[in-house]
Amino acid sequence: MAKPNVLIIGAGGVAQVVAHKVAQWADEFGDIHMANRTQSKADAIVEGIRAKGHAKGRTITTHALDAMDSAAVADLIRKTEAKIVINVGSAFINMTVLQGCIDAGAAYIDTAIHEDPAKICETPPWYGNYEWKRREAVEAAGITAVLGAGFDPGVVNAYARLAEDEYFDRIESIDIVDINAGSHGRYFATNFDPEINFREFTGTVYSWQGGEWRENSMFEVGREWDLPVVGKRTAYLSGHDEVHSLSARYPQADVRFWMGFGEHYINVFTVLKNLGLLSEQPVTTAEGQEVVPLKVVKAVLPDPASLAPDYTGKTCIGDLVKGTRDGQPGEVFIYNVADHKEAYEEVGSQGISYTAGVPPVAAAILIARGPWDVKRMANVEDLPARPFLELLGEMGLPTRVIDAEGDRPI
């Protein structure tokens, strides 16, 4: 069977990693295409891949695309004969890209939940507001749609599934902990698009505990963790995509997401939020200009991609899963440690983009090879975990586990 053509949508920091990894693993794919609103950004990434010698003699063809227009997406899928679309553009385009895949018959992969530019933190479960409403349409079209296949959500969902498959009969709690112990040397920066990054924290923090949704505000609940490599760090109960899908698969378990923040980050965030500068609602200046404050904050902050050259240190992201096996309680911490500098040396991106960008390529390979080509919509925990995690190990994101028997590779 012919290798499937692949279409990457987006040209930001994560898309850059995706493109590098697709190129490195080009033997798994047919033609490689990359589309972005601003085509020149995609061209720059392709040039970077060539410069690193990652293209392996293959061509990556770039296209200009308004991904908010599902007909344009479908047209480009047909024109490129893409069988797999990796959507790593803004979170605002998920629904139109998915519709394009449904209409043109291509597999769909994304790494973050759909967001409506005008809304922040909708009612849980978030996937129920947009993605899951298309389940029947996806199945009717006979395509595969893998949702949230980045690191978190994505790999951490697979960690939960691995715990289900290999460690416990019954899962009691899943605590996902995301610590970035790296340093970018700037006064302040977000690791992703600030518009998306801050939206994670400005609304209600939802967690699934005791069989129901609990509501907190950001930075209300903190806990100190002691993790491999990064050591003791404070992380805060945060709202995050994967809580919304894992709570559906494991309704009996408590599902919480903890994000690590330093005091400086919290201070800057708190000032901006309290002043109203993180608002997505327009304000009017004394001169009568209508401006969305959050877009101005984004404009003054460093471009996340620009942080990569000076980024040092490591990330540790993992799942502390508690459960029972044969009636005996136990716990396991399944995790990955990534290094910002190594990521930059390999693909020219910082570690946060690297950990988010490698997994959707692994997902694409597993669709191309078959095991994940399930012809329906699935979150990552609904798919076999071990082939995904083993492939990620080959691709640069090894998984380790700590349990009663010690700290070791899976």
Binding-site ranges for a copy of itself (CB under 8 A):
187-188, 195, 267-268, 271-272, 274-277, 279, 283-287, 289, 291-293, 295-301
User: Which residue, 229 or 297, has its beta carbon nearer to a copy of itself?
Assistant: 297
User: Which residue, 27 or 263, has its beta carbon nearer to a copy of itself?
Assistant: 263
Report residue 41 as tokens. Answer: 């950004």
3-state per-residue secondary structure call for 96-150: HHHHHHHHHCCEEEECCCCCCCCCCCCCCCHHHHCHHHHHHHHHHHCCCEEECCE
**Amino acid present at 386:** R
Report residue 256 as tokens. Answer: 């919480």
User: Which residue, 173 or 191, has its beta carbon nearer to a copy of itself?
Assistant: 191
**Amino acid present at 245:** S
Q: CB of residue 307 vs a copy of itself: minimum separation in angstroms?
A: 15
User: Which residue, 151 or 269, has its beta carbon nearer to a copy of itself?
Assistant: 269
Q: CB of residue 291 vs a copy of itself: minimum separation in angstroms?
A: 5
Report residue 297 as tokens. Answer: 């904050």
Report residue 217 as tokens. Answer: 């505000």
Residue 179: its H or E element: strand 170-180
Give the C-alpha distances (Å, rounded to integers) separating 46 from 55, 266, 307: 8, 36, 20
Distance (Å, rounded) from C-alpha 163 to C-alpha 196?
30
Tell how strand 231-238 and strand 60-64 pair up. unpaired
Q: CB of residue 248 vs a copy of itself: minimum separation in angstroms?
A: 34
- DSSP labels for 361-376? HHHHHHHHHSTT--SS
Distance (Å, rounded) from C-alpha 320 to C-alpha 334?
7
Q: CB of residue 288 vs a copy of itself: minimum separation in angstroms?
A: 10
Q: CB of residue 369 vs a copy of itself: minimum separation in angstroms?
A: 37
User: Which residue, 35 or 272, has its beta carbon nearer to a copy of itself?
Assistant: 272
Measured in residues, the chain has a length of 410
Buried b (16+ CB within 10 A) or exposed e, 265-287: bbeebeebbeeeebbbeeeeeee
Residue with tokens 């693909």, as numbered in its chain = 347
Could you tell me how many helices (H) and strands (E) the chain has, helices first? Answer: 13, 19
**Amino acid present at 125:** P
Q: CB of residue 336 vs a copy of itself: minimum separation in angstroms?
A: 31
User: Which residue, 156 or 272, has its beta carbon nearer to a copy of itself?
Assistant: 272
Q: CB of residue 266 vs a copy of itself: minimum separation in angstroms?
A: 11
User: Which residue, 137 or 297, has its beta carbon nearer to a copy of itself?
Assistant: 297
Q: CB of residue 286 vs a copy of itself: minimum separation in angstroms?
A: 6
Q: CB of residue 276 vs a copy of itself: minimum separation in angstroms?
A: 4
User: Which residue, 170 or 264, has its beta carbon nearer to a copy of itself?
Assistant: 264
φ/ψ of residue 342, rounded to 5? -60, -40
User: Which residue, 274 or 328, has its beta carbon nearer to a copy of itself?
Assistant: 274
Residue 42: its H or E element: helix 39-52
Q: CB of residue 58 vs a copy of itself: minimum separation in angstroms?
A: 31
* Torsion angle, alpha carbons of 189, 346, 348, 156, to 10: -40
Report residue 265 as tokens. Answer: 């980050």
User: Which residue, 140 or 275, has its beta carbon nearer to a copy of itself?
Assistant: 275
Distance (Å, rounded) from C-alpha 40 to C-alpha 352?
23
User: Which residue, 303 or 373, has its beta carbon nearer to a copy of itself?
Assistant: 303
Q: CB of residue 15 vs a copy of itself: minimum separation in angstroms?
A: 15
